[in-house]
Amino acid sequence: MLRVAAYTQGLLVPSARFRVRQYTPVLREMGVEMREYCPWFSSYPPRLGWLRPFWSAGALGERLVDALRSHSAEITLLQREMLSTLVTAEPLTRRPRVLDVDDAIFLNRNERFVERWAQLFELVICGNRFLADHYCRWNPNVAVLPTAVDTDRFLPSSKPTGDTPLIGWSGSSSGFVYLEALAAALAPVLERHPRARLRVIADRRPVLAGLPGERLDYVRWSPDCEASALADLSVGLMPLDDTPWARGKCSFKLLTYMSCGIPVVASPVGMNPEVLAHGGGVMARHRDEWVDAIGFYLTQRNAARQTGRRGREVVVQHYSLRVLAPKLAGLLLGCAHQAAGAGRTAAAERLS
């Protein structure tokens, strides 16, 4: 059994939930024991300045203890710095080290820091090719592994289609900027389809200019409701701006819609074109394309169902937990074996 010490950012952080925690029981069946270490102190300093000295002392002490715990494992996996933008206890962790990345966090760091950070690891696992192309500049051992969807959990609804079509968006309120930019397209869609509603699944209610409040169906996000709230949608949306940060997105929102058998409309940014090349929805660039695509799926129910079924097949075949877990296991086992081989070679050279 290969033991992995995995350091994540918190219980509800998406990268921890979907790129580490959901793999744990499946990897165990494949000979990989993943033990997760969640910080009690946040990795980010508090906004109130007077709290920061106490945070610094407590957080650094916690990370130092956690770093020593990695030596009970054979491999260490980290997703970000233990303390944001700083290299602290990471060099004390057990080697080999693996960095798992699903956002373009290097954009918020200077290149000298990113180079130093990336070189701490024997392997960098990236959620898409855009991220991998950047990390190849700083580390020669880079692999691409999309964020997996548990297709046994994100399922198509078994309930009959209701009379109220639901246009859906899910995500953190930090992504409201993309939804707000789409309001100009959503307004005419809701006007042309008076029974349709916009469902937003997030940590707080959005304010969308030009959209009547009574047409907004807000669902407060929680791990317990996220799959069922998605399954009722008639069409799923993933708008993005074409920026370096957005290109680093790993299309997980898109994949969860598709896993639930929902046709999708998405911006042709980041990993979205790669996913939709297999089917499951269409891409929209400007306002009129968004209006037409959403309206098509609301009115052409048979086409919407066929597109949704195809999207579900795409996720099951290419992006499901059962498909990607063996690949993650292979990457971790390969990294451990390569490091062990290098250690034996170095020992032999010392003896000779």
Q: Is 267 left (phi over 0), alpha (psi -120 to 50) or beta?
A: beta
Question: What are 169's strand-pairing partners?
Answer: 200
Instruction: For residues 79 and 67, give the distance between their C-alpha atoms in angstroms, rounded to a whole number.
Output: 14
Q: What is the DSSP annotation of 221-282?
A: --TTTHHHHHHT-SEEEE---SSHHHHT---HHHHHHHHTT--EEE-S-TTHHHHHTTSSEE
3 state SS of 75: strand
Same fold, 2-148+321-351 and 166-319: yes
CA dist 84 and 314 (Å) reads 36
By the 8 A CB rule, do 100 and 139 touch? no
At the topology level, CATH places domain 166-319 in Rossmann fold (3.40.50)
Query: 71: closest CA among 20, 121, 4, 1?
Result: 4
For tokens 């798992």, the residue is 100
Structure-token pair, residue 235: 């069409």
* CATH class, 2-148+321-351 region: alpha beta
The token pair that represents 122 in the structure block? 């024997």
Going from N- to C-terminal start, the domains of the chain cover 2-148+321-351, 166-319
What pLDDT is recorded for position 44?
74
Per-residue pLDDT tens digits of the chain, which is 352 residues long: 999 999 998 888 999 999 999 999 999 999 999 999 988 877 777 777 788 788 778 888 888 998 999 999 999 999 998 888 888 899 999 999 999 999 999 998 888 999 999 999 999 999 999 999 999 999 999 999 999 999 999 999 987 667 799 999 999 999 999 999 999 999 999 999 999 999 999 999 999 998 998 999 999 999 999 999 999 999 999 999 999 999 999 999 999 999 999 999 999 999 999 999 999 999 999 999 999 999 999 999 999 999 999 999 999 999 999 999 999 999 999 999 988 776 655 554 555 5
- E runs forming strands in the chain: 2-7, 32-37, 75-78, 97-101, 123-126, 142-144, 166-170, 197-202, 216-220, 235-238, 264-266, 281-283
Long-range Cβ contact pairs of 111-116 (< 8 A, separation 24 or more): 113/85, 113/87, 114/138, 116/87
Q: For strand 142-144 and strand 32-37, is the pairing parallel, antiparallel, or unpaired?
A: unpaired
Q: Which two tokens stand for residue 91?
A: 């060099």
Spatial neighbors of 341 by CB under 8 A, at least 6 apart, are: none
Instruction: Answer whether 17's CB lies under 8 Å from 223's CB.
Output: yes
Residue 250 confidence (pLDDT): 95
Query: pTM score, two decimals?
Result: 0.92
